[in-house]
Amino acid sequence: MARIAFILLCHKDPDAIVKQAQRLTAAGDCIAIHLDARADPGHFARIRAALRDNPAVTFAKRRVRCGWGEWSLVQATLNAVEAALGAFPEATHFYMLSGDCMAIKSAEYAHAFLDARDADYIESVDFFASDWIRTGIREERLIYRHWFNERRQKRLFYASLDIQRRLGLARRVPADLEMMIGSQWWCLRRRTVEAILGFLARRPDVVRFFRTTWIPDETMFQTLVRHLVPETEIESRTLTFLMFSDYGVPVTFYNDHYDLLLSQDALFARKISPEARDLKRRLGHLYASEGTEFQISDEGRSLYRFLTGRGRIGRRFAPRFWEAEGTLGHERELLIVVCKKWHVAKRLVGRIRQMTNLPCAEYLFNEETAELPDLGGIQKSMEKRHRHRRALMRMLFDYHGADRLVVCMDPADLDLMLDFGRDRSVTRILEIECAFTDAYLVGHAMRVGLAGPRTPRETLERLLPTIRNEIAFESDRIREAGFAHHYRLRENDPPEANARPLAEFLAIGDAQALEIARTQHLFAD
User: Of all residues in the chain, what percent carry a pLDDT higher than 70?
Assistant: 93
pTM, rounded to two decimals = 0.66
- Which pLDDT score, from 0 to 100, does residue 41 have? 87
341 cis-preceded (ω within 30 degrees of 0): no
Look at residue 505 and tell me whether its pLDDT is greater than 70.
Answer: yes
The radius of gyration of the chain's CA atoms, rounded to the nearest angstrom, is 26
**Whole-number pLDDT of residue 318:** 41
Q: How does pLDDT run across 351-405, given as a tens digit for each residue? A: 999 999 899 999 999 998 898 888 877 888 888 888 888 888 988 988 888 899 9
Which DSSP letter does residue 256 get? G
- Predicted confidence band at 296 (pLDDT cuts at 50, 70, 90)? confident
Query: In what order do the strands lie in the sheet containing 102-103?
Result: 102-103, 268-269, 240-241
pLDDT single digits (tens) 338-352: 999 999 999 999 999
For residues 20-36, give the mean pLDDT: 95
pLDDT of residue 441: 80
Q: Is the pLDDT of residue 322 over 80?
A: no
Highest-confidence segment of 136-140, 302-306, 320-324, 504-508: 504-508
Can you tell me the distance from the alpha carbon of 269 to that of 174, in angstroms, rounded to the nearest whole number?
34
pLDDT tens, residue by residue, 90-149: 999 999 999 889 999 999 999 999 999 999 999 999 998 887 776 678 899 999 999 998
Region 243-259 average pLDDT: 73
Give dist(CA 128, CA 219) in Å, integer: 12
DSSP sequence for 203-243:
-HHHHHHHHTSSSGGGTHHHHHHHHHS-GGGEE-S-SEE--
Of the ranges 349-363, 450-464, 510-524, which one carries the lowest mean pLDDT score? 450-464
124 in helix, strand or coil? Answer: coil
Amino acid at position 228, single letter: L
Confidence of residue 326 (pLDDT cuts 50, 70, 90): low
Q: Give me the mean pLDDT over the 416-439 stretch.
A: 90
Q: How far is CA 509 from CA 485, 500, 506, 512, 516, in A?
A: 17, 9, 9, 6, 11
Q: Are 361 and 405 in contact (CB under 8 A)?
A: yes
Higher pLDDT, 398 or 215: 215
